[in-house]
Structure 1
Amino acid sequence: MPTSSTKQPATEPHKIAKGKRPSASSALKRDIILRAARRVFETEGLEGASLRAIAKESGYTPAALYFYFDSKEAVYAELLGQSLATLNADIATAIHQIDTPVQRLKASAMAFFNYYRNNPGDLDLGFYLFRGGMKPKGLGRVRDSELNRQLQSSLQPITDAALAMGVSAVRASEITASVFAYATGLLLLAHTGRIRIFNANAEQMMASFSDTLTTRIEGEIPC
């Protein structure tokens, strides 16, 4: 997930003016560029990629890309932001009309897990698992801050459900962290195929963890 280290320019003059609605052709070009960029990132990783390589893959000139993005980090951030927005939408749908905190916590945890289980490419994107390994250097302070906000937003329903069950804010944060850690650990095992070593099923393990966690939380609450 995003880290914060490298600085980014205060302004991005090559991007479409804020508030100006892009034309259909402009939106199509942007989509073509993003699709091409994803293919480049998948093969070269963030460090090995370049705007020139993305331009070549998309069929546009580097100058054309600069009209939309000022750096490869900006392109990566756009892709990751889209992924996190979809994750948030999926979780919101999963918990819609679920009233009890226990069931909301379970549904939120499973929706988070299932999104990445069903979209392994987004797991690669979010954890920088493309070529180069898990050593993200960040996409710029402002971009990292916004992406981390989106990630935290996807986990907020878990925190809210834990609070509604009656735990303290500190404990709710710990519960959210434990769900995130367990889910991502299972996802990496499933994604790499290592889970077969244990003859285990990732979905079943995640569901069992959610059940055990909520039972333990209920036991912590004074009658």
Structure 2
Amino acid sequence: MSEGARAGRRDAVAEMKRGIILDAAQRVFAENGLRGASMRAIAKEAGYVPGAIYAYFPSKEHIYAAALSESLIRLREATETAAVGAGARERLVAAGLAWFDFYDANPRDLDMGFYLFGGGIEPRGLSEELDRELNAALLATLEPVRRAAIEIGATEDDAVVLTADTFAHASGLLLLAHTRRIELFKLDARPLMAQHMEQLAARIAT
């Protein structure tokens, strides 16, 4: 086997182990929350000795950040893919719906993104550096909405407000949907999200 082939195999094994650790960590976070989780518990869930996972991540916060980062990459791919072709108005609506649909189909990612594992709703973070990187990644998932708003005719400032509106409205509807509180009104969250995005697009256009 050539050196290049051996290196490729080592990389593949390392990536596989990294994935096992991240999957195990998400189960531990879901059960114990970020505060209650430990590197020892994550290692045990992954089937490794604690020292083995330090070769991949220096702390549980870095593991959480890596899992959340990968989730946000998938979310950005979803919104970017949805906002291809058609007119700007259609792209704005499609990107907003794609953001909603991703978390609607992946509730564990929603919990992870809002740090809801095992602790309820309150301000949380990891570290100044990790938070800055993750916040930038989150904003990038909504960039297709902001771009489309500007193409329709929004100012830079108005596009930021509209993007925040999309984020807030989708988050609220997702909370209602996944706690089933939406059933109080005998409504379906997704049509409400679609209607809201159409209204935002119309508001810009006029």
**TM above 0.5:** yes
State the AA in 2 paired with 1:57: E
Superposition pairs for residues 53-202 of structure 1, below 5 Å? 53-98=41-86, 100-202=87-189
State the AA in 2 paired with 1:106: V
TM-score (norm 2): 0.93
Aligned residue for 1:70, secondary structure, equals coil
Select the residue among 194, 203, 222 that pairs with 2:190: 203
How many residue pairs are counted as aligned between the two chains? Answer: 199
Question: Which has the larger displacement, 207-216 or 118-127?
Answer: 207-216
Structure 2, gaps ≥5 residues long: 1-6
Structure 1, gaps ≥5 residues long: 1-19
Q: Deviations over 1:3-39 (max 9, x none)?
A: xxxxxxxxxxxxxxxxx97522222211111111010
Partner of 1:17: none
Deviation at residue 168 of structure 1 after TM alignment:
1.2
Alpha-carbon separation, structure 1, partners of 2:199 and 2:154: 16
Partner of 1:212: 199
Q: Does 1:35 align with 2:23?
A: yes
Alpha-carbon separation, structure 2, partners of 1:62 and 1:35: 16
Partner of 1:15: none
Q: Does 1:46 align with 2:34?
A: yes
Deviation at residue 191 of structure 1 after TM alignment:
1.1
Q: Deviations over 1:62-113 (max 9, x none)?
A: 1001111111000000000000000011111111223x11111101111111
What root-mean-square deviation, in Å, do the aligned CA atoms of Structure 1 and Structure 2 show? Answer: 1.3
Displaced runs of 4 or more, over 6 A: none
Partner of 2:14: 26
2:115 touches 2:124 (CA, 8 Å); kept in 1?
A: no
Deviation at residue 60 of structure 1 after TM alignment:
0.5
TM-score (norm 1): 0.86
Percentage of identical aligned residues: 47
State the AA in 2 paired with 1:177: A
Q: With CA pairs under 8 Å and 6+ residues apart, which has the higher RCO, 1 or 2?
A: 1
Alpha-carbon separation, structure 1, partners of 2:159 and 2:33: 35
Deviation at residue 136 of structure 1 after TM alignment:
4.4
Alpha-carbon separation, structure 2, partners of 1:59 and 1:136: 32
Aligned residue for 1:132, secondary structure, equals coil
